[in-house]
Structure 1
């Protein structure tokens, strides 16, 4: 059952350690499913392109899906797409969850396979687009990344479904915040929406409607250009219920 509007949940979280399995889906992944309005066993496809479609991690995700009661599939692009009709597969889902890794490599591989139009079609059809880190930045015009080396740089060729910039891991990697401010101030990035670890941003179309969190004490932020300098506004997230 697709969502009733174009929905994106962009996050710096979604996983937690588990006891019997390697990981479990935390509240942000469950919230993505809730936003879809899915009933029964929600259909969630996982994309690990940013880390090279690691098969061992795909298995961890399948186990997490079993625990959560989700119908999990993995959409792999290495060494070739593992489904005949990638665009059709995306349209069949309730949620697309994109994992972290190298956002620059993710965008390059997606471009080779022409996934931009397919993702837009899924979004416009009501499939919830979501993900963590690289899987957050990809939906925006750009953001900050360590894809090119230890020194953070800007990436500006995101899918731009959301016309803003995106800053992830805002509280856990000390170089992220000053770089976002510098890139907004010099015009490299537009108004930029940022998340501490464990926080997600919910969009209805391109409108930011809410920040949500699976951890206490975390924040979201909007950095915009005012009078030639970057100004930061904190948004207090709504605390999600632990699954």
Structure 2
């Protein structure tokens, strides 16, 4: 069974109407009819406006969302297993990953991914799938922390931002245990199939 991760640097439904990258995501499934697609906004602490934008963008599918409280639901694995696509929003990457690990939701996601459920994510929702993350914290200082390790290497979204670019490049230059660094501007996206880079999509 093939696995897919779509890493979106910037854009998507949160900033665009009829986003090309979101249309590309839907086509990856190769399924006819409405898709079961759930949004996770944990990195933005379940921001309601973000969730509302997701429902608007995917109203022709079967949209739903999972809140932070849902991660500890006894039947959460069954709920996630019924999905075609998991779509993870941007925000505070470390906060989100720590909640997932604390609640065991990281393993729920890994099980779903290994069973062929497609994963997509914007910014923090793209960075988290890699082995190592390097991103700003609540005090706007950059720090290194573990990702989920579905994909090797490290991912930098919004590389067009000068401060982020300098911080990431300086950090990457002294790393010896990271195999690959992905640096994406806001109009660039990566599609991984079976943990290998299958396509770079520029929108």
User: TM-score if structure 1 supplies the norm length?
Assistant: 0.76
The alpha-carbon distance between structure 1 residues 179 and 201, as it changes in their structure 2 partners (threshold 3 A), is: same
RMSD, aligned α-carbons: 2.0
Give yes or no for the alignment of 1:28 onto 2:32: no
Q: Are the counterparts in 1 of residues 13 and 53 from structure 2 also a CA contact under 8 Å?
A: no
Which structure has greater strand proportion? 1
Distance in structure 2 (CA, Å) of the matches to 1:82 and 1:58: 20
Shift of 1:81: 4.2
Shift of 1:93: 1.1
> Residue deviations 1:126-163, cap 9 Å, x none?
11111101000110012331224223333x31001001
> Residue deviations 1:56-112, cap 9 Å, x none?
33222212221xx1110001114x549652222222111111000000100111111
Give yes or no for the alignment of 1:124 onto 2:114: yes
Distance in structure 1 (CA, Å) of the matches to 2:115 and 2:18: 25
Count of residues in correspondence between the two structures: 201
Gaps of 5+ in 1: 18-22, 215-243
Distance in structure 1 (CA, Å) of the matches to 2:154 and 2:53: 30
Which structure has greater helix proportion? 2
Distance in structure 1 (CA, Å) of the matches to 2:125 and 2:82: 19
Distance in structure 1 (CA, Å) of the matches to 2:64 and 2:127: 22
Larger Rg: 1
Larger RCO: Structure 1 or Structure 2 (Cα < 8 Å, ≥ 6 residues apart)? Answer: 2
Q: Are the counterparts in 2 of residues 142 and 157 from structure 1 also a CA contact under 8 Å?
A: yes
Match of 2:75 in 1: 85
The alpha-carbon distance between structure 1 residues 193 and 90, as it changes in their structure 2 partners (threshold 3 A), is: same
Distance in structure 2 (CA, Å) of the matches to 1:199 and 1:83: 35
Secondary structure of 1:5's aligned partner: coil
Give yes or no for the alignment of 1:14 onto 2:2: no
